[in-house]
Amino acid sequence: MNLLFAIDDNVTQQLMTTLLSIKINSSAEKYSVYVIQDKKLRETEKIKSFCQKLGMHYHPVIIEDDQFDSAPTTDRYPKTIYYRLLAYKYLPKNVKRILYLDIDILVINDLKPLYSLDLKDYWYAAASHTSLDVTDDLNKLRLGNYEAESYYNSGVILMDLMAIREHVKAEDIFSYINKRGRTLLLPDQDILNGLYGQNIMKIPDEIYNYDARMNPFYFAKSNGAWNIDWVIDNTAILHFCGRDKPWRPEYKERFSGLYKHYQHRAKNINKIISL
């Protein structure tokens, strides 16, 4: 299973927590972890040792060009997030499929069914967090893509790199940024939807991209079926979207204890490595 992340030095511990949750709860025999970064991460050796401890192979992907220097960024959306749009340029040519994950994610059931998904003629697979059709319509109007089925969250993306290498071009992305830069609210996510929304296979968010903020919505949508027991039994990916993050001491929302448990276990592995 090929896994892709794009991070900076601020979230290396969160990366390791996510990786531990994947290793414990997924059934793949081998894992290759590709981490896109602006410069070599300060804790590279710790990450490498951590991956070795889990039986995973760590592959740093250091980007040395400046092509996204003028793209819109914020404290929540640094330049590294754009690199996943052109990940195929930086990954080995023999990597044909990869699963991109944000680091504010906890995997609590097997990822293999998602990774093995038949994409048919689609280039990507992703989930939508949009609960209202009118919101979908507004996003299509804002981004100029009326062919897309929905507005997709870019925190979990299964990529067919063979198709993407053939169809996704850097010049198209830069042109789109120049044309719609001021309207991009969630920069790389908006670009993914605006340019390639029609090429994304929709997957169920309650299974593969459960928005941890939206418990009441999921419960109501399922007429009470998707309670916490259902989530623990069926959901593969918990996604802690938004500004409030589960690694912060003040975070008290549902699943906070679950996240802190995996975080604690990951830190214990690091302590063993440091001895």
212 falls in which pLDDT band (50, 70, 90)?
very high
Indicate the class that CATH gives domain 2-274: alpha beta
Q: Determine the Cα–Cα distance for residues 247 and 236; give it in Å rounded to an integer.
A: 19
CA 175 vs. chain centroid, Å, equals: 24
What confidence score (pLDDT) does residue 132 get?
A: 41
The mean per-residue pLDDT over the stretch 78-88 comes to 79
In the predicted model, is pLDDT for residue 142 greater than 70?
A: no
Q: Which residue has the higher pLDDT, 40 or 174?
A: 40
**For residue range 6-17, what is the model confidence (pLDDT) as tens digits?**
999 999 999 999
Q: Which residue has the higher pLDDT, 175 or 159?
A: 159
Q: Which residue has the higher pLDDT, 69 or 234?
A: 234
What confidence score (pLDDT) does residue 133 get?
A: 45
78 falls in which pLDDT band (50, 70, 90)?
low
148 falls in which pLDDT band (50, 70, 90)?
low
Q: Determine the Cα–Cα distance for residues 41 and 7; give it in Å rounded to an integer.
A: 9
In the predicted model, is pLDDT for residue 232 greater than 80?
A: yes
176 falls in which pLDDT band (50, 70, 90)?
confident
What confidence score (pLDDT) does residue 76 get?
A: 60
146 falls in which pLDDT band (50, 70, 90)?
very low
In the predicted model, is pLDDT for residue 153 greater than 90?
A: yes
What confidence score (pLDDT) does residue 105 get?
A: 97
Q: Pick from 272, 270, 271: which is nearest to 47 by CA?
A: 270
Domain residues of the chain, as ranges? 2-274
Q: Determine the Cα–Cα distance for residues 126 and 114; give it in Å rounded to an integer.
A: 10
Distances (CA, A) of 271 to 60, 266, 267: 22, 9, 6
**For residue range 15-46, what is the model confidence (pLDDT) as tens digits?**
999 999 999 999 999 999 999 998 999 999 99
* Burial grade of 162 (CB within 10 A; 0-12, 13-18, 19 or more): middle
